[in-house]
Each structure stands twice: as C-alpha cells, then as structure tokens.
Amino acid sequence: MNIVIMGVQGSGKGTQAKKLAELKGWKHINIGQLFRAEMSGGTATGKEAKQYVTNGELVPDELTFRIFANAAPFNSSNLILDGFPRSVAQSKYLLEHYQIDKIIVLDLSEAEAVKRISARRNCSKCGRDYNTLYKKPQKEGICDVCGGELVTREDDKPKEVQRRIDIYMEQARKLLDFFEGKVKIVSIDASQGIDEIFSLLVKEVDSLQ
Ligand SMILES: [Zn+2]
C-alpha cells in the first residue's frame, strides 16, 4: 500500500508522515530530504541536481524521477510520499509506475497556516527550531540550549510565507483535479493538535488494510 500526504506549510505534514512511517515501519519519502541527501553525498545525480539548484533553476522532472526511483524502485509498496508529486506530469509518472491507494490532505486554512509559520523561530547559533505558539523558549528570544539569539528565517517572513502558500494552493488544486476519480482522496482537519490529527491519519490508513 502507498499513500501520498499533502498539506500546506504549517499543516504538520512532515511530522505526521514521519510518525506514520515509524508506527507502520514504512518508508517516509520526503523529496526535499532526498535531494539534500544526494547533494551532500556527492553522488552523480546529486552533483547534477546541485548545478540546477545553485543556478536557481528548476530541477527537470527526469532528474527528480531518477532520484525518486533510487529511493523507491518501481512498484514498491509501503511508501508514504511527502512533497511529491508536485505537478500533473509528476502525478502521471507516479500512477504509471506505482500503485497509489489514497491521498490524504491535511487541510488548514490560509490564515491559520500564516499564523503558524510566522511563529517559527530559529537559533542563530545552533539552528534549533522554536515556535512562539507551540514550542516557546524558556526566555523570550533566547535559545534554551546555547543562549543564542532566536531569529525569523527569511523564508518565514510574512511576504515570503504568503508567496509559498499561494504556490502550494495553486499546485494542490491542480493535483487534486488530476487525481479526482483516479485515487481516493480524503481530508483531515489539520487545525487540531498533533495527536488528534495522527489518530485520524492512522484510521484513514487502517481502513485500507
Ligand atoms: Zn541555540
């Protein structure tokens, strides 16, 4: 069985996918992480990918497919896909080579996503993550571990957050249009707590088995 988890930044998609993979003993495939691992590992495909990324160019699908298939050979199962597919072309590829049983969308309003992402902070010294809503430091603005100053990453500033959300919404609409009628699609309300979302997610997966 294979599932795709979708969700806007701030929906907790990565955390949920990871928890699910641990519970089921399945493989969590986060396409962003795969790219980073290939690039830092200095593999041939990683070097190729790095050229595009360094030049600020889009990585061609053909290369993404190779990196994806390295981690998940055709027709493999027990995969939890996170961050892939991102386009209709990638979705077609996916359905050609893998069985996809369900698409689970972690549904979060734009306003809530903006609120959650804008609350993110990072330690300027050790990089540890904080969140002024859910994971506050003991002392405001100061890292608990190393005493470094907490800052907002460029990516998490309001204008950039809005831009990323707009891109996701547009992408999600196209993907869901494509998958409609081909794969079962369900939504989970991601405005709830991590544990509530997780138990609904497990239920959705168990209902397939
Ligand atoms: Zn720190």
Kindly name the residue from 102, 153, 174, 184 that is annotated as catalytic: 153
Ordered by where they begin, the domains of the chain are 2-206 (3.40.50.300)
Residue 36 bears catalytic tag: no
Three-class DSSP category at 203: helix
Task: Give the Å distances, CA to CA, from 145 to 121, 124, 142.
Answer: 14, 12, 9
| pLDDT greater than 80 at residue 209 | no
pLDDT band at 158 (very low <50, low <70, confident <90, very high): confident
**Gap from CA of 129 to ligand 1 centroid (Å):** 9
> What letter would DSSP give residue 17?
H
pLDDT at 134: 84
| pLDDT greater than 80 at residue 119 | yes
**Gap from CA of 115 to ligand 1 centroid (Å):** 23
Cα radius of gyration (the chain): 18
Q: Report the interhelical angle of 194-206 vs 13-24 (nearest 10°).
A: 50
> What letter would DSSP give residue 106?
E
pLDDT band at 208 (very low <50, low <70, confident <90, very high): confident
**What distance in Å separates the CA atoms of residue 110 and residue 27, rounded to the nearest whole number?**
29
Residue 120 bears catalytic tag: yes
Is the alpha carbon torsion for 137, 140, 143, 146 positive or negative?
negative
Give the pLDDT confidence of 43-64 residue by residue, as tens digits.
999 999 999 989 989 899 999 9
Residue 153 bears catalytic tag: yes
pLDDT band at 92 (very low <50, low <70, confident <90, very high): very high
pLDDT at 159: 87
Kindly name the residue from 13, 19, 116, 121 that is annotated as catalytic: 13
**Gap from CA of 52 to ligand 1 centroid (Å):** 31
For the CA atoms of 35, 36, 42, 44, what is the dihedral angle to 10 degrees? 10
Residue 115 bears catalytic tag: no
What's the rounded mean pLDDT across residues 106-124? 94
**Gap from CA of 200 to ligand 1 centroid (Å):** 34
Q: What is the pTM of this model?
A: 0.88
**Gap from CA of 188 to ligand 1 centroid (Å):** 34
Residue 159 bears catalytic tag: no
